[in-house]
Chains A and B, each alone.
Chain A
Amino acid sequence: MGLGSDMYRQQILDHYKNPRNYGELEDPDIEHVGENPMCGDTIKVFVELADDEETIEHVSFIGDGCAISQASASMLSGELRGESLSAVREMDRDDIVDMLGVDLSPMRIKCAVLAEKVAQDGIAIHQGEDVEVTKTE
């Protein structure tokens, strides 16, 4: 093995190979797609809300791309369930870095935060805001 392949700990590889909550929701309240043109990663996030219109009841995603982007989406999908929309909008990149638990080079951070950005922009659109194209560059 090389110098440790820190970025690719077992947990990340596991989420990449066996993504959780993968697939489309049938009748989502929120549905949004974004890309990281650098890697060619794409992530589409689906969210179903509880009756209070604020609590996330179900989350799923589909996507294509590098291990970091797809594992991050898989792990995030588990974290978002039960969260409030306002809490998700307050998340930042440190939350993702903490969730992944690995050191990421600046170039790869863009892969890691794609799912978070897609979810946040999707919520923003749901709440009536204008969002141009979702990209992490």
Chain B
Amino acid sequence: MSQQAQPLDVERLREDFPILDREFDGTRLVYLDNAATSQTPEPVIEAIADYYREYNANVHRGIHQLSQEASVAYEEAHDRVAEFIGADGREEIIFTKNTTESMNLVAYAWGLNELGPGDEVVLTEMEHHASLVTWQQIAKRTGADCKYIPITDEGRLDMDAARELITDDTEMVSAVHVSNTLGCINPVGELADVAHDHDAYMFVDAAQSVPNRPVDVEDLDADFLAFSGHKMCGPTGIGVLYGKRHVLEAMEPYLYGGEMIRKVTFEDSTWNELPWKFEAGTPLISQGIALAAACDYLDDLGMENVERHEAELAEYAHDRLTEHGDVEVYGPPGDDRGGLVAFNLDGVHAHDLSSILNDSAVAIRAGDHCTQPLHDVLGATASARASFYLYNTHKEVDRLVEAIDDARQLFA
């Protein structure tokens, strides 16, 4: 499906996000921390409210009408998410708490059982702690080794090194799709091909890609892919693990309890069918239904259009930030990145910068963005990060740049 990108009607769609009207001391909020969490549009808030007002009930265990309505909506939410990322069906979509839990699910259910001494997990230097710490610790427990694909001087993934590092000893390749710090877009489809050439699985951390660009799991040929609802106009408390059906079928459950079983005796139990086998206990009902509403919202706008809008803002921000020559922007050039820009202003700590920006009601992130080892590679203890979403404007980038000017003057 190759659609011609259309400009987003940002002025109109901002009306869907009442929080963007907030003012601090009379100054309108500029929200540029979208890579951490996105704001929530009215239709999604309504979907949550509707559920609680109209058909709140536990799923899969009631014969009464409310439970049936809730069950159907919750199951169909899996179908909707499957459609959004090009998966085969609900069997391949597991609802979790967040991207981190999706990682841990695979690490515990597959990694603890399958990894052993001599096996290797190949990661990248730009992994989020969600993936890096999880595989590092599972490797320690199983005797497996972790290897890290380095970044190039320009802040991209070194694919030549990747082809060297991925060998027949590799059991899992886990890579971030769009780096939450460098903003680079990694060729995870190509990595998946290399992984499969060596009979390894490919796990894609799509936390910064599914919310921001069209992603098709079949195109990527990923075995696993994870993302979070709250970064894509959805609520907090829900993440998604996509897994190829035959891979999930072969995996043991991660959590035991109600909902995930078929038949239980005092001696033994058998497991429910996919995806419920991996959704123990009362699941994330309202969050799942709201996530489906978020998929509707994003598809109505068109993910190609969201992608282009963010790319334009990132390029504009990159150009404006580097006007004075005293700002170091991490990652590849402005015209080849996702919708975020991590940077440091010479002589001003990122936390000081963020505090000063906050005085102008400009919300950015400052810190290590859960990529401490990458910051070590970059030689920075912290960085500031502005991240854009579908409702941000060029004028808001200008407000960011003006607030940075304030900091520049204060610290001069």
Contact = CB atoms under 8 A, between A and B. Distances in A.
B300 interface: no
B393 interface: no
A88 interface: no
Interface in A1-25: 1-8, 13, 17
Given A67-B349, A108-B351, A111-B351, A40 B382 contact: yes
A13 B361 contact: no
Contacts of A38: 351, 367
Interface string A96-111: 0000000001011001
B409 interface: yes
Contacts of B25: 3
Interface string A33-50: 000001110000000000
B367 A8 contact: no
B356 interface: yes
Interface residues of B, number: 23
B356 A2 contact: yes
Contacts of A1: 406, 409
B1 interface: no
Contacts of B27: 3
A5 B367 contact: no
A66 interface: yes
B411 A13 contact: yes
B352 interface: yes
A67 B361 contact: no
Interface in B17-33: 24-25, 27
B278 to A, nearest CB: 34
A39 B351 contact: yes
Contacts of A114: none
Contacts of B381: 39-40, 65
A3 B359 contact: yes
Nearest to B368: A40
Contacts of B361: 3
Given A2-B406, A5-B406, A38-B367, A66 B359 contact: no
Contacts of A4: 359
Given A2-B360, A3-B359, A4-B359, A68 B352 contact: yes
B349 A65 contact: yes
B411 to A, nearest CB: 7
A66 B409 contact: no
Contacts of B264: none
Contacts of B24: 3
Contact of B382 (A39, A68, A107, A108): A39
A59 to B, nearest CB: 23
Given A7-B356, A8-B356, A105-B355, 9 more contacts: A1-B406, A2-B357, A4-B359, A5-B406, A8-B410, A39-B367, A66-B352, A67-B349, A111-B351
Interface of A: 1-8, 13, 17, 38-40, 65-68, 105, 107-108, 111
Interface of B: 24-25, 27, 348-349, 351-352, 355-361, 367-368, 381-382, 403, 406, 409-411
23 contacts: A2-B360, A2-B403, A2-B406, A3-B24, A3-B27, A3-B361, A5-B406, A5-B410, A7-B355, A7-B356, A7-B359, A8-B355, A8-B410, A13-B411, A39-B367, A40-B368, A40-B381, A65-B349, A68-B351, A68-B355, A105-B355, A105-B358, A107-B351
